[in-house]
Every structure is written in structure tokens, then in C-alpha cells.
Amino acid sequence: MSAARITRVGATKDQLGESPVWDERGQRLYWIDALAGLIRGLDPVTGAIEQFSVPAPIGSIALRDDGGAIVALRNRFAHYDFGLRALTEGPSIGLDHPKVRLNDGKADPYGCFLAGTMHGDRAPNETALGGLYRLDPTGALELLETDLAVSNGPCFSPDGRTFYLADSARRIIWAYDYKRDGPLENKRVFVDTEAQQSGCDGATIDSEGYVWSVLVRIGKIARFAPDGTIARIIDMPIGHPTSVTFGGPGLDILFMTSISRSHALRDDHPDAGGLFAIEGLGVRGLPAHRFGPG
């Protein structure tokens, strides 16, 4: 097994770094500071980092096929133009609740954007409000799943037929059969991480169909085989990693975001909140899906 080399990239310090996505066309990495209302863009060749301000909190982003990004804001979607630094609001999820906001999201293989909600400070037996939403490039919005306490880590198998989604509060990653139209089907437990004493946060897929997921409360990244068994664990130098994506010219660098201070977690390590690059893993990722009809 290849030895991982972990390095901090740049000097940014996010409160709640999330949603990294590699732009294969522009050879850039984008990610967010969810609580600061920032989208950051890194040119790995020069080390230059741009930042773009949007209304906080941000749940997640995905790249648009025609340029810019689709953004999950607190309770609605929006389009962001990096060149114009302009935000155009899109449809609302129709739920305005002080404890519920949109969280992690990904584009699917068909050009849609899926994003789920998190419902904070719930009573023990209270049903979580919100759910998992799918935004079509035409602007049509549908609710695919309900009762998600903290939705995280959406990602797709290489053939697009399996959809993975974590509920971090329940420490479960679910798997579903997925298709472009119609409901999610055949819901089943893919991974239960109670034994690891952490829920899973952000996730991505490698070219072999293994799921790379962050164990946010114990400072580790796990690689899960397609049957849900743990194939590898990587210890991180900071306490609370948040999300991962493969990038670089060969899609063989795993980029990881992290927390310095979120609503629930705090890390006083000097590198907490930093962006990290993990090299030497011996695996490659897949190009990110994009939002749009292309």
C-alpha cells in the first residue's frame, strides 16, 4: 500500500471548510468556507487563491457546465459567475426555519444538482425537517428524501447507478439505486460508523468505485470498498477534517478541507481550518460532474 504524503496548501484558515471540487477544464480547485460566506479558488501551479463573497451560510457548490457555480445557500439555490462576481438567485426549497439549512451537495451524472439539509438542535424524537433536494437545469426542484438530520457526503458510483448519502448525526452512509428521473430506490445501509465513534462528513469516489469519506470527529479519512468494508484509514494532522475530492492533472491528489471553529466543533491546532493535499495514494479519482444540460 502506498504511503500517503500530507501537506498543507496555502495559508487560508476556514471556519468551516467544505465542498471541494476540482475544475478539470481550468485546472483549479474550488471550495467554500461555509460560515464566512466565501468561495475560494486555488491555482495549484502559482499558489494564487481568489475568494468570492456570497451570503452566509453556504452549504455547498458544484461547477456549472457553462461556467461559474451552482450554490446551495441557506434555503435556496443560486448561480455564481466568477468573472462578474455576481450571484443570481434560483429556486427556494420552500422551508424557512431558523434551525434548518442546506448543506452538502453534488452534481449528478445527468446535470442535476443534489443537496441535502441539516436540522440543528432537534429534540431527541423530533423528525428532521427538510431533506434531499434535486435541482434540474431547467429550474425544476423535487424532494427525494426526508428525515435527514445532517445530510453529508453525496456521491455517485462510477457508472452513476448507485447514490451514496451520509446522515452524520446517525453515523450511517446509505446507498440507493439512482436514475435520472423518478425516486431514489432500494435504500440500504452501506456503512455504519458507530464503531469508529464518528459520523461521516464529505465524500468522493475513486475510479475503482471505492468511497473516500471523512470521519469528522476523530481526524481520519476512510476508504470504503464497494461492499462497505474499510479498505484503508488515514490519520490527519488536524482534529476535524470535513470533505475530500480528487484533483490535480492526473486526478491523483486528494484535497481535503477542515474546521477551525464551526457551530459544533472547534480545533485549536495551528493548521486547523487549512486546505490539505494528500499524495502518493496510488489511486485516481473521476472528473467532477457538472450542473447543466451539457
**pTM assigned to the model:** 0.97
Smallest Cα–Cα separation from 154: which of 138, 127, 131, 137?
Answer: 131
pLDDT per position as a tens digit, 230-269: 999 999 999 999 999 999 999 999 999 999 999 999 999 9
Question: What average pLDDT does range 21-48 have in this prediction?
Answer: 98
Question: Rounded to 5 degrees, what are φ and ψ at 5?
Answer: -110, 120
pLDDT at 124: 80
The percent of residues above 70 in pLDDT, for the chain, comes to 99
201 catalytic? Reply is: yes
Q: Is residue 291 part of a domain?
A: no
- Whether the pLDDT of residue 148 is over 90: the answer is yes
Rg of the chain over Cα atoms, rounded to whole angstroms, equals 17
How far is it, in rounded angstroms, from Cα 161 to Cα 101?
27
14, 23, 108, 201: the active-site residue: 201
DSSP3 helix / strand / coil % (the chain, rounded to 5): 0, 50, 50
The CA distance from 148 to 119, in Å, is: 8
Separation CA 173–CA 94 (nearest Å): 26
pLDDT number for residue 126? 87
Q: Does residue 143 form part of some domain?
A: yes
Cα separations (Å) of 11 from 30, 219, 270, 275, 276?
A: 15, 20, 10, 8, 10
Angle (CA) 22 179 216, round 5°: 45
Cell output for 146: 426526508
pLDDT mean over 139-146: 97
Cα–Cα distances (Å) from 109 to 11, 90, 106, 132, in that order, read: 33, 21, 10, 17
pLDDT mean over 148-173: 97
Give the pLDDT score at 125.
84
Which cell goes with 263?
457551530
Determine the pLDDT at residue 293. Answer: 87
Residue 290 domain flag: no
Is residue 70 a part of any domain in this protein?
yes
Domain carrying residue 191: 5-279
Is residue 227 included in any domain, yes or no?
yes
Q: Smallest Cα–Cα separation from 206: which of 237, 179, 244?
A: 244
Rounded mean pLDDT of 101-109? 98
Please state, as a whole number, how many other Cβ atoms lie within 10 Å of the Cβ of residue 103.
29
Query: In this structure, is residue 33 part of a structural domain?
Result: yes
Total number of domains in the chain: 1
Average pLDDT over residues 203-227: 98
Indicate which CATH number applies to the domain containing 143.
2.120.10.30
Secondary structure class of 255 (helix, strand, coil): strand
